Amino acid sequence: MILSPSLREAFKPLRLMLQDRLAVIGLMVLLFIIAMALFAPVIATHPPRQINEVEDGSVLARGPAGWMLQPSLGPVALNGAAVAGGQALIVGRDGTVYERAGQDWAPVDAGTGADLNAVALRDDGTVVVVGAGGTVLLRSGGTWSEVPAPAPADLRGVDWLDGAAAIMVGAGEEIWQLDADTGEITELESPVGRGFSLRGVARDADGTALMVGERGLAIRYDPASGDLELERLGSSRDFNHIHISPAGAALVTGERGTLVRRDAPGARWETEPAPDTRALRAGWIGDDGHAFAVGRNGIVMERDTEGTWRLATTESERHLRALLVEGDSALALGSDRFVVRLAAPSRDYWFGTDHLGRDLYSQNVHGSRIALLVGFLGAALVVLIGTNVGLVAGYYRGRTETILMRTVDVMYGIPFEPFALILVLLFQPSLLIVILAVSLLTWRTVARLIRSQVLSLRERPFVKAARVAGASDLRIMYLHIFPNVMPLVFLELAIIVGVSIIAEATLSFLGLGPPHSVSWGGILHDARLSGAWRTAWWWNLPPGILIMTTVLSVFFISRSLEVVANPRLRARQ
């Protein structure tokens, strides 16, 4: 391909640039960051401001140092658990059933997709599971079968009674009795009949069943006589769960830290003071009065045999819904949707999450937009003002020059960072003010540099020739002199892009960046404000590295531009 000599001359700086390895790397990195800014919504895995929540089958095990988080069982919340005869079962949302196999939990296919709420296990291994939509599952002899329900009730609690009978309760005050041998369900009539939600049921020591529900409702069922009677527990709070020990100690847990306890069959029910008033979803009590209760936000309470309830240390804020106690070991199970706060980098969140559960990778990707926008717009403004002032001052000289250059002198007396701060703080932060704050002072350098170049250029023969040929001042300035300062202009442009990006990051870091924008400095601002940056290293590292890489790439390019602009550097390299 044959290029005209003048065109070849024009591409010479580019060729020089491409010979500089650092400049090529810089150019590639910068193009990469620009692509990142352009395609941010596509590259980001999450919306940058979205508060991410996940559901998780969380298991907390009681240990000497508190209740510690165990490996998650899966992505769904766990609702109920039962242990008997050496076997243990956990049920959860979406038809999830886990059975204990040695030290681990193995998923079991129970043949349903409905949310399962409660499970009861008999010593001989017979299992009944109840759930939403009238789901009743029976496992006897190792095979699961679904028992046809009389109504699509939302069943909340289940327990075995003597013989083959199981009792289950539902959210619409349903009380059903299952005969495990025949697989038939009998509907019992509640003595209240107002559609109160029943949430828990347990077999009492004397063979009757006690069920509890909202507004302090408690109903005793005697399977021998078939009688259903109201019982008073001395509280009108909503009850969530009941557990009765083999010897007859009983614990009812409910909303707003409700704890109602009975020592033995026939003893008085007593409301006990709870150390926290959040909802308690499940409880467990032993024959000796040792008890646990678990609830929302990782609340675990423990009652010693003397009768004092204490808040136990827990490792997480997951919502706990069930307890599985066997001998000395105890597991708390549960977890609704919870916000993924301060999660370390993982497959879902490549750079982890911040204190509000927002994905940091996506924030970093989107942050490139504001950095490049302010960087390039600010630099363009700076170069535009600086070049023109420099051209005019250098070309016209005289009074024009004096006034312009004295202005520049004055501007050199203004410290940059404090000035930008004052500007942004006095006038509400907006994108425009931030760009102005970044560029209003920086043009002073460009103006000085360009002027000094123009001063020598205007005395060159080609300028005099143009003047003799009758070219206007504007024509000489912009068509004859300007092309000769172009390399210098590009050099300054590159440097100031870098300076502007750092300035924007600095303002954002101080919380003075463009509002409602995601920026690298802003991410670090959040990190510092939250105080969590001292532990969450994944929060600090990426934005700084990105700022550094971007600015560095621009500086590399500017360095090779410097060689283009200043041939004296070129000759000896």
Partner 1 sequence: MSRRTYLLKRVLQAMFSLFIIATILFFLFRLGLPDPTAALITEGLNAEQREAVRVQFGIDKPLWHQYALFLWNAVQGDFGVSFAYRAPVAEIVWERLGNTMVLMLTAIVVAYAIGVPLGAWLSWRRGSRIDTVGIFFGLMFRSAPMFWTGMIAILVFGVWLTLMPTSGMRTLPYEADGFFDKIFTLDFLWHLILPATVVALYYLGSPLLIMRNTMLEVYGEDFIEMARAKGLPERRILYNHAARNALLPVVTQLAVTIGLAAGGQVVVEVVFSWPGLGREILNAVRTSDFPLAQASFLVMAAFVITLNLLVDVLYTTLDPRVSFK
Give the nearest distance from C-beta 342 to partner 1 in angstroms: 15
Total residue length of the chain: 573
DSSP string, 95-143: TEEEEEETTEEEEEE-S--SPEEEEEE-TTS-EEEEEGGGEEEEEETTE
Q: Is 267 in the site for partner 1 (CB under 8 A)?
A: no
Which one among 223, 401, 528, 530 touches partner 1, defined by CB under 8 A?
A: 528
Give the nearest distance from C-beta 378 to partner 1 in angstroms: 16
The stretch among 102-110, 180-188, 226-234, 502-510 that binds partner 1 (CB under 8 A) is 502-510
Q: What's at 255, amino acid-wise?
A: E
Burial of 345: CB neighbours in 10 Å, binned 0-12, 13-18, 19+: middle
Give the nearest distance from C-beta 473 to partner 1 in angstroms: 24
C-alpha separations of 53 from 56, 257, 328, 571 in Å: 10, 25, 33, 60
- CA–CA separation, 199 and 154 (whole Å): 10
The stretch among 43-51, 237-245, 322-330, 562-570 that binds partner 1 (CB under 8 A) is 562-570
Residue 122 burial (CB count, 10 A):
18
Count of residues that interact with partner 1, criterion CB under 8 A? 52
Contacts 24+ apart (CB under 8 A), 511-516: 512/421, 512/424, 512/425, 512/429, 512/434, 513/370, 513/429, 513/434, 514/370, 514/374, 514/429, 514/430, 514/431, 514/434, 515/429, 515/430
Give the nearest distance from C-beta 311 to partner 1 in angstroms: 28
- CA–CA separation, 400 and 388 (whole Å): 13
The stretch among 118-126, 161-169, 388-396, 535-543 that binds partner 1 (CB under 8 A) is 535-543
Q: Is 540 in the site for partner 1 (CB under 8 A)?
A: yes
The stretch among 173-181, 189-197, 466-474, 519-527 that binds partner 1 (CB under 8 A) is 519-527
Give the nearest distance from C-beta 464 to partner 1 in angstroms: 23
Our CB check for partner 1 shows the closer of 37 and 201 to be: 37
The stretch among 71-79, 163-171, 482-490, 532-540 that binds partner 1 (CB under 8 A) is 532-540
The stretch among 60-68, 90-98, 378-386, 555-563 that binds partner 1 (CB under 8 A) is 555-563
Which one among 322, 404, 524, 565 touches partner 1, defined by CB under 8 A?
A: 524
- CA–CA separation, 107 and 122 (whole Å): 20
From residue 11 to residue 40, the character string flagging contacts with partner 1 as x (rule: CB under 8 A) and all else as - is ----------xx------------------
DSSP designation for 313 = P
From residue 407 to residue 446, the character string flagging contacts with partner 1 as x (rule: CB under 8 A) and all else as - is --xx-xxxxxxxx-xxx-xxx-------------------
The HSE-up count of residue 483 (CA atoms within 13 Å, CB side) is: 8
The stretch among 217-225, 239-247, 373-381, 531-539 that binds partner 1 (CB under 8 A) is 531-539
Q: Is 344 in the site for partner 1 (CB under 8 A)?
A: no
- CA–CA separation, 303 and 414 (whole Å): 67
CA dihedral 117, 123, 126, 129 (to 10 degrees): 0
Give the nearest distance from C-beta 301 to partner 1 in angstroms: 33
The stretch among 274-282, 449-457, 485-493, 501-509 that binds partner 1 (CB under 8 A) is 501-509
Q: Is 455 in the site for partner 1 (CB under 8 A)?
A: no
Give the nearest distance from C-beta 528 to partner 1 in angstroms: 7
At 311 the three-state DSSP class reads strand
The token pair that represents 528 in the structure block: 């510092």
Which one among 406, 460, 478, 483 touches partner 1, defined by CB under 8 A?
A: 406
Q: What are phi and psi of 417, to 5 degrees?
A: -60, -50
Residue 182 burial (CB count, 10 A):
9
DSSP string, 372-383: HHHHHHHHHHHH
Q: Is 533 in the site for partner 1 (CB under 8 A)?
A: yes
The stretch among 142-150, 310-318, 386-394, 543-551 that binds partner 1 (CB under 8 A) is 543-551
- CA–CA separation, 227 and 452 (whole Å): 105
Q: Is 510 in the site for partner 1 (CB under 8 A)?
A: yes
DSSP string, 471-482: --HHHIIIIIIH
Which one among 498, 513, 514, 522 touches partner 1, defined by CB under 8 A?
A: 498
Q: Is 572 in the site for partner 1 (CB under 8 A)?
A: yes
Give the nearest distance from C-beta 554 to partner 1 in angstroms: 8
Our CB check for partner 1 shows the closer of 291 and 523 to be: 523
How far is C-alpha 72 from the chain's CA centre?
Answer: 18
Contact residues toward partner 1 (CB under 8 A) are: 21-22, 406, 409-410, 412-419, 421-423, 425-427, 498, 502, 505-506, 509-510, 521, 524, 527-528, 533-535, 537, 540-541, 543-544, 547-552, 555-556, 559, 562, 568-569, 571-573
